[in-house]
Amino acid sequence: MLEKVDLKQKIEKKAYEKILPPLMDRLYQAQKLSWDQGVPVIILFEGWDAAGKGTSIHALTQPLDPRGYRIYPIRAPRTYENNHPWLWRFWSKLPARGEWAIYDRSWYGRVLVERVEKIIPEKDWRRGFMDIVDFERTISDDGALIIKFFLHISKEEQKRRFKKLSKDPLNAWRITPEDWEHHKNYGQCLLAYEEAFENTNTEWGPWTIVEATDRRFTRVKIAETVVRAMEERLKVTIQAPQTEAEQPTAEAGAVQEVQE
């Protein structure tokens, strides 16, 4: 599946500069609506090393009210966390009503890195698919909106980014021997990702594959996906606030009901 994704998609700078401002306004409106309606929003980012998860999260949160979201960088479980059921540490990181929780990696490590690196037995990561689907179904039934992104780049693009970062004195620390090992095992990781999509792409927790070669395209697709997901949940059309010159009346609203 991932091999068929067109990774050459891009947005030119002039088009990007025209698209971005109203899109960022709509993203802010989406956050405000989720707060007003009490909808908890879960946005998780998975993807290749150096695909731009951190920078994409930074871009996504630029127009948001910082009081309404939290970012969770997910790492390997600590010793005391291993003494609990494996999903235990994620329950405390779920958002309250109206808040957004944004995850830089997530519970999918169970069926991705822990699988590829053989940290756990096969029976455990295979059972992880069912655990994840049940977990996401439970929080969705409780009212959460789940948005899952996978940032996709080619093996060649990943190598190019690794080399570029390694030559930068301020960023070289970000590339570890483990990253190069994952790059070497790109094919195994690809298989794990595709099997994860096959087993966990659900009506309540769909995956969005983001072509992440071009940073401008990546940023726009992520923001548009979040806005669209909120529109579908609340049955509204989210529009950027109009300028005075554009407003037909002084009280023109930013949100309109979708016509049935």
Q: CA-based angle 29:146:258, to the nearest 5?
A: 45
pLDDT at residue number 247: 55
% of the chain at pLDDT higher than 90: 86
CA 27 – CA 8 distance, rounded (Å): 26
Q: Which pLDDT band, with edges at 50, 70 and 90, does 244 fall under?
A: low
Domain ranges, residue 182: 2-257
pLDDT tens per residue across span 49-68: 999 999 999 999 999 999 99
Residue-wise pLDDT for 20-52, tens only, equals: 999 999 999 999 999 999 999 999 999 999 999
**Which secondary structure element, helix H or strand E, spans residue 260, and what is its range?**
none
Under the banding of pLDDT at 50, 70 and 90, the label for residue 119 is very high
Cα–Cα distance, 152 to 141 (Å, whole number): 29
pLDDT surpasses 80 at 246: no
Q: How far apart are CA 69 and CA 30, in angstroms?
A: 12
For residue 181, the domain's CATH number is 3.40.50.300
pLDDT number for residue 248: 53
Q: Cα-flanking dihedrals φ and ψ of residue 79, to 5°?
A: -55, -50
The total domain count for the chain is: 1
Given a cut of 70, is residue 216 above it in pLDDT? yes
Contact in structure between 128 and 111 (CB atoms under 8 Å): yes
Q: How far apart are CA 157 and CA 154, in angstroms?
A: 5
Average pLDDT over residues 201-211: 97
Q: Which of 148, 152, 147, 189 is nearest to 50 (CA)?
A: 152
Mind listing the pLDDT tens digit for each residue in 157-172?
Answer: 999 999 999 999 988 9
